[in-house]
Structure 1
């Protein structure tokens, strides 16, 4: 069988649930290539489709997501194409139905034990669900009669010099991403933008299982409309460490500073702390606790300068038997809209159940509760969602 690709596929954007995908898919030969098809089917119910503060809309819904990965390998060179489609249907509100597409091509070349190049190209047709809340780029049902659609075209590459086990290793990556909205142009055109990112990371091994790291990340954000004054340049410097399974823990932590300079002098320069961290603790091989957190500046999608976004997630995954596992997690997201006084908190608690009926078939269910609170009067809301799903492969 062809080795699974080491590039992250764009199709991972199309997700049905947060539970761990436990399938072990098989491939079929297509000439000298290997085709790996999978499918996820979900049926669920939400009691607040639009995240409304009152007169909530409840509905049953379905999501079907087939995924195809076609891959070939010759020596140390691996290349392939992945395509995923997600069809969502809301039984009580078909105006909110959607079809998302994700097409990606990837290639990995290992020149020797110290040098590796990875390339990823993506073409995505996605959507923003309608919402009454001030979350993301969602538009209110009072403004639009269906979800807003957008296209992302991206090209990225990562070059690694030095073996993972070596004393030193350098990883350099770059990505160019063009995002443009396809409908409701009088509202969404202001969000069209080109983003260029360059990241360099140096790792220094201080023990067999622990490495220190220093990372610099540059990002240029250029909006298409000249009337939009959010064009900026970001510089992020972070230092930290990563470690493999040492005393039952593994993880990576990075702390540093973020500076965001706007082309428009009327907008204030941002200088703030930033971090990215993820730590796993496994008191048993079948029971894992994980903590992840990040702080970053998100694009505002409105008149604000940016969104100061801080996220914390604590989770516990436990295997009760070889086939049955659960996942309990809680996420706190704080969003401060700089340039205004808006301050939002979103708490989401999720319980996921997985039953691996066969190697190629997994049954599952997710139950989640979301609570949104804001310093804007009358903006708070709660929502509950349940999803039942089937994940299958060859």
Structure 2
């Protein structure tokens, strides 16, 4: 489920995935976000569907026409100049970070996805990591469309004066993959629209464009590039507008963002060592509500390198060093700037020891230094522990268990300074029948704000049941309960969310 962060598939940012869009200061990565955001994991979904019958085609055409009408209605309601980015899936209401971190524990799982995966990037680096050269040349267009009806009993994540609402969500998605000899590339587009019946101020339309390429120059040299353009938003009740302030906004904080990433790898398949060098850039500029978003526009630059040393056929030790520079263009309303440098040094292990277990564990130190020392309030530039972990265990073909954990420091979305985040997650997927599957998931977090007595603790519990009506059409019913308690009462809340959805894959 991509509308609500972590509510459908067990993660805090993206359901059931442990991703790191940028290695600095982001958590660990098992895939490329430019690809995973659009392709997903076909391993659980089964591959390409059969051609629909004539009756099915007619139904599909009618559904597509209805979707186009909905799309036209959204565009009329929200002109292009007001398009925002992110959607409810961008910001987790439990998250206390700035929002530029993109962590969700676990691994890729999408019970709706039946689109064939043309590029496999889900193997831990330093073990397998090879592209599948099955196709010499292929240029299909694949995609899906998800439609949801839901009830949210606390849309704005408030402890008092809760506002509940029924709503409708729609997301068409298109992906154009290209695989020619040693080159793999792709271009994707996704649109997200959400309408609340009783809380129209939180309605939104988001647009995303992603592109990636991956080329092997020879058996040792490989270069991967990715880029994105986004027009999205932060849902009211998250990021910089939480607690009582959520009741004041008439529309969400809207922003646009561009990103570019490059990853160069040196090392032959099966060699003892593998080197990686990474560069990432992203920006985010807010378009409205300056009383809340002033001082949040930024340019972020990340550089890093990693060395993997194979100690067993499918197990490697790793050493990783990453540095990021976050340049905030304006100070916060209180006059404080969040511009900072961050250094993260990690060591660990990655393995695919058996057909049942895959994992990556990293731990080390993190140093975050603000340009204005008052930001750290005595802790500025002091080393702090940091770690990332992701383990996938598949004891049987019908059962998959995913466990994830992360500890990291980010810029605060509160009064400035930093927030120390700890997040843990576990999810169990089970295939009850050939056409009936489920997942159960639990997440827990703790956010501690420097220079403040605010500490947030919370957890999220959820269950989902999925049934394919046709090879190309999957239905699902999901429930999520969220609970956050804070030392500052206005930031405490509970939330219940029920979702009924359909997804077409074509």
Decide which of 288, 291, 299 is 1:183's aligned counterpart.
288
Q: 3-state SS of the aligned residue for 1:141?
A: helix
Q: Distance in 2 between matches of 1:110 and 1:378?
A: 53
Deviation at 1:301, TM superposition (A): 2.3
Residues 1:92 and 1:302: Cα distance change in structure 2 (over 3 Å): same
Q: Distance in 2 between matches of 1:250 and 1:300?
A: 33
Residues 1:136 and 1:56: Cα distance change in structure 2 (over 3 Å): same
**Normalising to structure 1: TM-score of the pair?**
0.91
Q: Distance in 2 between matches of 1:169 and 1:32?
A: 30
Q: Distance in 2 between matches of 1:368 and 1:35?
A: 33
Q: Which residue of 2 aligns with 1:266?
A: 374
Q: Which residue of 1 aligns with 2:240?
A: 137
> Is 1:385 equivalent to 2:494 in the alignment?
no
**Runs (5+) with no aligned partner, structure 2:** 1-30, 39-85, 91-107, 118-136
> Is 1:8 equivalent to 2:33 in the alignment?
yes
Q: 3-state SS of the aligned residue for 1:102?
A: strand
Q: Distance in 1 between matches of 2:345 and 2:471?
A: 44
Q: Distance in 2 between matches of 1:26 and 1:307?
A: 40
Which range moves more in the overlay, 87-96 or 159-168?
159-168
Q: Is the 8 A contact 2:398 2:430 kept in 1?
A: yes
Q: Is the 8 A contact 1:335 1:343 kept in 2?
A: yes
Q: Distance in 2 between matches of 1:217 and 1:164?
A: 24
Q: Which has the higher strand share?
A: 1
> Is 1:49 equivalent to 2:155 in the alignment?
yes
Q: Is the 8 A contact 2:305 2:321 kept in 1?
A: yes
Q: 3-state SS of the aligned residue for 1:9?
A: helix
What does the per-residue CA deviation read over 1:212-261, in whole Å, with 9 as the maximum and x for residues that have no partner? 10000101011001554211111000000011142732210000000011
Q: Distance in 2 between matches of 1:238 and 1:165?
A: 23
Q: Distance in 2 between matches of 1:200 and 1:270?
A: 22
Q: Distance in 2 between matches of 1:354 and 1:283?
A: 21
Residues 1:274 and 1:388: Cα distance change in structure 2 (over 3 Å): same
Deviation at 1:281, TM superposition (A): 2.1
Decide which of 257, 278, 284 is 1:173's aligned counterpart.
278
Decide which of 417, 434, 437 is 1:325's aligned counterpart.
437
CA RMSD of aligned residues (A): 2.2
Which range moves more in the overlay, 11-20 or 182-191?
11-20
Q: Distance in 1 between matches of 2:309 and 2:284?
A: 36
Q: Which residue of 2 aligns with 1:60?
A: 166
Residues 1:73 and 1:46: Cα distance change in structure 2 (over 3 Å): same
Q: Which has the higher helix share?
A: 2
**Normalising to structure 2: TM-score of the pair?**
0.72
What does the per-residue CA deviation read over 1:147-196, in whole Å, with 9 as the maximum and x for residues that have no partner? 11111111111111113532111111111111110111233121001111
Q: Is the 8 A contact 2:461 2:481 kept in 1?
A: yes
Q: Which residue of 1 aligns with 2:110?
A: 20
- Higher relative contact order, structure no. (Cα contacts within 8 Å, ≥ 6 residues apart): 2
> Is 1:252 equivalent to 2:277 in the alignment?
no
Decide which of 321, 329, 348 is 1:240's aligned counterpart.
348
Instruction: Count matched residues.
Output: 383
Which range moves more in the overlay, 251-260 or 99-108?
99-108
Q: 3-state SS of the aligned residue for 1:246?
A: coil
Deviation at 1:118, TM superposition (A): 0.9
Q: Which residue of 2 aligns with 1:201?
A: 306
Q: Distance in 1 between matches of 2:399 and 2:387?
A: 27
Q: 3-state SS of the aligned residue for 1:112?
A: coil
> Is 1:218 equivalent to 2:323 in the alignment?
yes
